[in-house]
Structure 1
Amino acid sequence: MPSPATHLVESYVIDVRRATATYYLPDGESIELPAHRVEAPIAPVFGTARMQAAIREAKNHVPGYSYKGFRDRAVVAGCAGYIVSFSGRRALYVGRTAETHVEHFPNQ
């Protein structure tokens, strides 16, 4: 069953470099909010394997998992931002030079 937030938010974009989160509503409206700033520099090369490892930890709720930890590992992997589409059931992770990794949501 989808969470209540998925009925209110169609998708969102996290811009790690600007430390912003933009949420898009089904009616076309959007809201931009400040996001937590990451102190570590974004790795210059996008490491797909490292990004996938961070995603696996999140999916498996490994002991000690936190969003902050995920975000820090994503930055080390070279992730400069990501787009999550609830209707498209996927997340697109983007590196500094536009390398990408698409992660599809698991089947329910």
Structure 2
Amino acid sequence: MIDFTSEQISTIHTVFEQSNAGEIHFGEVIQQLISIGVESYTVDYRRGETTYYFPNGKSVRHHFETDPTSIAEHFDASLVKQAILGAQSGQVMYPLFKALTYQAGCIGYCVWITGKNVQYFGRLGEIHLEKFPQ
């Protein structure tokens, strides 16, 4: 198996840090990850982990501060959609997006870069599917 390049590791670290600091928006995250061959990534709010996946089966994991007790008990897809619309308009950066999706009962999500969609998950297996904007 091929090891990661220094560019891949550096880009993932930078994207992770900048996104979590609210310095770059979702579109920038996706473009940078595409440039290094990432095909998908998952965010687990309960564990405080983001995992980036490559087509060769390799993955890179980063940890972030989380408070799973602040995630609402019930999943509300309409609140998730509001957070998404705010992010798409550039008014909501990632730190606020996380807070809003916590309030919506979202426990995490999977970004399918090559599939151009995101699946948001609730505690009872609920899923909200959002296609990338065209």
Structures share fold, TM-score greater than 0.5: yes
State the distance in 1 between where 2:34 and 2:129 align: 19
Displacement of 1:66: 2.0
Displacement of 1:3: 1.8
Partner of 1:6: 34
Q: Deviations over 1:55-102 (max 9, x none)?
A: 00000112xx22100000000000000000110000000001111100
Higher RCO (Cα < 8 Å, 6 or more apart): 1
Displacement of 1:38: 3.8
State the distance in 2 between where 1:13 and 1:90 align: 12
Partner of 1:103: 130
Partner of 2:100: 73
1:11-30 equivalences in 2 (<5 Å): 11-30=40-59
If each structure's strand is expressed as a fraction of its own residues, which one has the higher value?
1
State the distance in 2 between where 1:29 and 1:37 align: 25
Displacement of 1:37: 1.5
Structure 1: which 5+ residue stretches go unaligned? none
Displacement of 1:36: 3.2
Displacement of 1:39: 6.6
Question: Partner of 1:55: helix, strand, or coil?
Answer: helix
Partner of 1:87: 114
State the distance in 1 between where 2:72 and 2:43 align: 17
Deviating beyond 2 angstroms after TM superposition, the runs of 4 or more aligned structure 1 residues are none
TM-score under structure 2 length normalisation: 0.72
Displacement of 1:26: 1.8
Displacement of 1:40: 5.6
Structure 2: which 5+ residue stretches go unaligned? 1-29
TM-score under structure 1 length normalisation: 0.89
**Please, what is the CA RMSD of the aligned residues?**
1.5
